[in-house]
Chain A
Amino acid sequence: MNHVAKGILTGLALGVLSMPVLARDITIDLVGEPSSLDPQVQWNPDSYYVYRNIFDNLVTRDNDGNIVPQIAVSWEQTSDTELTLTLRDDVSFHDGVDLSAEDVVFSVKRITDPDFASPQLGQFNQIIGAEVIDDVTVKLTTDGPYPALLAQLVKLSIVPKHVVEAVGKEAFNTAPVGSGPYKFDEWKRGVSVTLSRNEDYWGEAGPFDNAIYRAVPDAATRVADLQAGSADLVVSINSDATLQLQGVDGVQVLSAPTERVAYLGMNLDKPPFNDPDMRKAASLAIDVEGITQGLLGAGEIPMAQLASPAHFGYAEGIEPFVYDPEAAKKLTAAKADLAATPVTFATAPVFDQRVVQALQQMLNDVGFNVSISVTDMPTYLNIVRSEPADNAELSFGRWSCACQDADGITYPLLHSDSAWSRVNEPELDVLLDSARVSLDEDVRMEAYGKVHQINRENVYVLPLYQAAVLYGASSSLSFVPTANESMFLNRMSWSD
């Protein structure tokens, strides 16, 4: 008997010792539930935080922002308008079917089909052709030389042709099948989405058995969940929460600058900002550091150009704007009547009203006459895109092109062809056009350097800061937030 008992005990002990590290799940509090899990439909953060783990993309960005292989192992610009990509041959979807060049071509054609009406169409509609060359090679054709193509392909998720065609758009959205490190498990509408690790993943699958994403709209509740330990990672907290979490055991706050650039738009066809001196006065009046450090405090970085270090086309050495309210007052005093022209400052509730009010105060302090006009988002969009005569004198905006390329900000805001732009400067148009179609990185860098310099000197649009995001996380979690607000489970690690 004794032997038997010993045997059982030894067996148990061996079992315990040889057991893998305890099963570990991660619970992530998002603001809302994903709008869709079909990666080719919606692309708001609450959706892509989740589906980027279910699907692989053609290429991806590493934590430093460099474009690196994912499904495509290598690529070559075979002509000005053709990009040939070589694919991995060892990738299979969660249903066991191999991922092929057919699926890649299908994915490109699906998202670029105008009838499919993807909200992401604008990011991919310069791709006019996709064809299978052989099992592991595809060729993409663009409607002209398109230097930002790879930056856009970072977001092109590969969906399985056989599944999408079999189940249709609606059913695929509720039960997505991808090839990524995590498999879709369950979507409790309004409550949570659960993913489980794909044990057959071709790469590193990550430390978690399951990932549970919950919709917790109130920031204070997300922070409380983190403190109580019912969430391991929470998104979208503000600097007040940082203070609350300071000194709390087992919790850390992570911050990263994003690729969103905040700016003050000025109407160059209406007084007072049709006068270069008044624009100069506005730039001198605004204490950007006061806003980024005193008001926001999430790690925002003052910018003097319509780009950030997270963008291709960010120019080193653009001189920061000087904060000098006395000099601004001198400029406005010299043309006091012009400066006192009533100015409407268009904004919408989605923007941080503290920043808008601070800007108004700073401008009025040096002699401008600014009043804020908050409207709903559709009205705001109509105002800022209307003809100069109907347009507000000032507008606040935070621009993201989700492509980390200066073209995505400077072209819409500075080119005379764009509905968003108030600028009509032939020299800028030439530079922006050449940078948009050149495949030579040096040519592009030089053009953007000049663009930023011209905008800095003339203050057509006043750049303010590079926005930042804050995450709250358990101290046991190691997670590197990135500028494109990715949240890849397989790049995280956990240590108890």
Chain B
Amino acid sequence: MLRFLLHRGGQALVAAFGVVTLVFFIQRLAGDPTALLLPETATQADIDAMRASLGLDRALWVQYLDFLGDVLRLDLGQSFIQNAPVLDIILSRVPQTLQLAAGALLVALAIGMPLGLLMALTRGRLVSRWIMGVVLACQSMPTFWSGIMMILVFGVWLKWLPPSGTGTLSHLVMPSIALGLLSLATYARIVRSAVIDELGKDYVRSARARGVGTGRLVKHHLLRNSLIPVISITALELSQLLAGAVIVETVFAWPGLGLLTVQSIASRDFLVVQAVVLIGAFVTIGANLAADILYSVVDPRVRLTESS
């Protein structure tokens, strides 16, 4: 178990290091940010002074080592545009994105899993195909469209929910659904194929032969055994949710990390953009590591095959 953990942890560290390096060099490829930070009438002397104050006049490898050190110390710099430490700016937005991600996951799991189960149990029948159609529609609708449609129907027309913004639980409903729809389809399809897999296995047949009813079978055997793919998919979905949040938060003016990213790109606040990319990558790496570990706890076979 320890070897397995060390192995996976090492892999995660290498990935994190790669991301930091990539972010640093991509940002240097994108050009000199000083031209954006200064007004159009700035002289060459102004530009040189700004470059010096940002440390951009030093050798590239010095800047790179400096950057690595800063990341290790969690020093993400000072936003030139907002006049505040980048870490503070980002931390102030994390709770909103967590709320939204939790809401979306709830929508996806609470609706997606039962739908998947239903599709598996009614396999081959018309009702299964209908559900599949709905699930596919959910997955195919672009969020920027479904979001605006929801706002127009439930916010403007029916006036059931506030069209945008934050503050109350009712503000969370539409963004959660909009973001959750994508993952909902994934869960429904994963659960469906996992349950169908299980249904063909011997223990299900013998349980049925012993007269175990469908309800009991689902509750005690099928769900638990179908859970493993759900866990690993959740880790992947988390990064999908972060990516989807950029659009959903923009449409619903939900003040999380996604909206911060869009606003920072618009105001050319490159340190904040860089930090969001780093944190997004770290979260994804961390979630995958957690899934691997959780996986091996739920299913000992994973652990054994890995270490042999």
Q: Which of B13-21, B26-34, B99-107, B132-140 contacts A (4 or more CB under 8 A)?
A: B26-34
Taking residues whose C-beta sits less than 8 angstroms from the other chain, chain A's interface range is 35 or more
Q: Which residues of B contact A167 (CB under 8 A)?
A: none
- CB pair A217–B42 under 8 Å, yes or no, is no
- CB pair A221–B41 under 8 Å, yes or no, is no
- CB pair B156–A228 under 8 Å, yes or no, is yes
Question: Is B308 close to A, CB under 8 A?
Answer: no
Map CB proximity to A onto B192-214 as digits: 1 under 8 Å, 0 otherwise.
00000000000000000000000
Give the contacts of A215-265 with B (CB-CB under 8 A).
215-218, 220-221, 224-225, 227-228, 230
Question: Is B51 close to A, CB under 8 A?
Answer: no
CB-CB under 8 A for A224 and B266, given A189-B92, A217-B250, A218-B253: no
State which of B49, B165, B251, B266 has its C-beta within 8 Å of the C-beta of A191.
B165
Question: Is B218 close to A, CB under 8 A?
Answer: no
State in angstroms the CA–CA spacing of A38 and B81 once bound together. Answer: 11
| Nearest CB of chain A from residue B164's CB, rounded to whole Å | 5
State which of A169, A189, A224, A420 has its C-beta within 8 Å of the C-beta of B152.
A224
Q: Which of B67-75, B257-265, B276-284, B291-299 contacts A (4 or more CB under 8 A)?
A: B257-265
Give the contacts of A29-55 with B (CB-CB under 8 A).
29, 31-33, 35-36, 38, 41-42, 44
Map CB proximity to A onto B142-173 as digits: 1 under 8 Å, 0 otherwise.
00100010011001100100111110000000
Number of A-B contacts (CB under 8 A): 124
Q: Which residues of A contact B33 (CB under 8 A)?
A: 378
Minimum CB distance partner of B247 in chain A: A218
Map CB proximity to B onto A159-189 as digits: 1 under 8 Å, 0 otherwise.
0000000000110011000000000000011
State which of A35, A117, A119 has its C-beta within 8 Å of the C-beta of B82.
A35
State in angstroms the CA–CA spacing of A377 and B110 once bound together. Answer: 44
Minimum CB distance partner of B38 in chain A: A119
Question: Is B252 close to A, CB under 8 A?
Answer: yes
- CB pair B251–A122 under 8 Å, yes or no, is no
Q: Which residues of A contact B83 (CB under 8 A)?
A: 36, 38, 41, 169-170, 173
- CB pair A44–B36 under 8 Å, yes or no, is no
Q: Which residues of B contact A114 (CB under 8 A)?
A: 49
Question: Is B62 close to A, CB under 8 A?
Answer: no
- CB pair A217–B262 under 8 Å, yes or no, is yes
| Nearest CB of chain B from residue A25's CB, rounded to whole Å | 14
State in angstroms the CA–CA spacing of A51 and B82 once bound together. Answer: 14
State in angstroms the CA–CA spacing of A290 and B81 once bound together. Answer: 38
- CB pair A170–B266 under 8 Å, yes or no, is no
State in angstroms the CA–CA spacing of A214 and B82 once bound together. Answer: 17
| Nearest CB of chain A from residue B178's CB, rounded to whole Å | 12
Q: Which residues of B contact A224 (CB under 8 A)?
A: 148, 151-152, 155-156, 163-164
State in angstroms the CA–CA spacing of A494 and B136 once bound together. Answer: 48
Taking residues whose C-beta sits less than 8 angstroms from the other chain, chain B's interface range is 35 or more
State in angstroms the CA–CA spacing of A264 and B151 once bound together. Answer: 39
| Nearest CB of chain B from residue A306's CB, rounded to whole Å | 15
Q: Which residues of B contact A189 (CB under 8 A)?
A: 89, 92-93, 255
- CB pair A221–B253 under 8 Å, yes or no, is yes
- CB pair A228–B163 under 8 Å, yes or no, is yes
- CB pair A412–B155 under 8 Å, yes or no, is no
Q: Which residues of A contact B252 (CB under 8 A)?
A: 221
Question: Is A7 close to B, CB under 8 A?
Answer: no
State in angstroms the CA–CA spacing of A482 and B208 once bound together. Answer: 77
State which of A36, A41, A214, A381 has its C-beta within 8 Å of the C-beta of B165.
A214
State in angstroms the CA–CA spacing of A191 and B253 once bound together. Answer: 8
Q: Which residues of B contact A29 (CB under 8 A)?
A: 253
| Nearest CB of chain A from residue B40's CB, rounded to whole Å | 7
- CB pair A216–B253 under 8 Å, yes or no, is yes
- CB pair B263–A228 under 8 Å, yes or no, is no
CB-CB under 8 A for A35 and B92, given A214-B165, A218-B251: no
Question: Is B5 close to A, CB under 8 A?
Answer: no
State which of A33, A174, A214 has its C-beta within 8 Å of the C-beta of B263.
A33
Minimum CB distance partner of A38 in chain B: B83
| Nearest CB of chain B from residue A290's CB, rounded to whole Å | 29
| Nearest CB of chain B from residue A218's CB, rounded to whole Å | 5
| Nearest CB of chain A from residue B135's CB, rounded to whole Å | 26
State in angstroms the CA–CA spacing of A411 and B268 once bound together. Answer: 27
- CB pair B31–A221 under 8 Å, yes or no, is no
- Most chain A CB within a 10 A radius of its CB, from B33, B83, B93, B259: B83
- CB pair B267–A221 under 8 Å, yes or no, is no
Minimum CB distance partner of B268 in chain A: A377
Give the contacts of A198-225 with B (CB-CB under 8 A).
214-218, 220-221, 224-225
State which of A122, A215, A227 has its C-beta within 8 Å of the C-beta of B259.
A215
| Nearest CB of chain B from residue A305's CB, rounded to whole Å | 20
Map CB proximity to B onto A4-45 as digits: 1 under 8 Å, 0 otherwise.
000000000000000000000000010111011010011010
Q: Which residues of A contact B22 (CB under 8 A)?
A: none
State in angstroms the CA–CA spacing of A230 and B162 once bound together. Answer: 8
State which of B40, B93, B251, B262 has its C-beta within 8 Å of the C-beta of A412.
B40
- Most chain B CB within a 10 A radius of its CB, from A38, A42, A174, A224: A224
Question: Is B111 close to A, CB under 8 A?
Answer: no
- CB pair B35–A381 under 8 Å, yes or no, is yes
- CB pair B35–A382 under 8 Å, yes or no, is yes
Map CB proximity to B onto A399-414 as digits: 1 under 8 Å, 0 otherwise.
0000000000000100
Q: Which residues of A contact B164 (CB under 8 A)?
A: 216, 221, 224-225, 230
CB-CB under 8 A for A119 and B259, given A216-B164, A225-B163, A378-B30: no
- CB pair B93–A190 under 8 Å, yes or no, is yes
Question: Is A361 close to B, CB under 8 A?
Answer: no
Map CB proximity to B onto A84-96 as digits: 1 under 8 Å, 0 otherwise.
0000000000000
Please give the residue numbers on chain A whose beta carbons come within 8 Å of chain B beta carbons, in ascending order. Answer: 29, 31-33, 35-36, 38, 41-42, 44, 114, 117, 119-123, 169-170, 173-174, 188-191, 214-218, 220-221, 224-225, 227-228, 230, 376-379, 381-382, 412, 420
Give 14 A-B contacts (CB < 8 Å), ordered by A residue: A29-B253, A36-B81, A173-B83, A189-B93, A191-B166, A215-B263, A218-B148, A218-B250, A220-B151, A224-B152, A225-B163, A378-B30, A378-B36, A381-B36
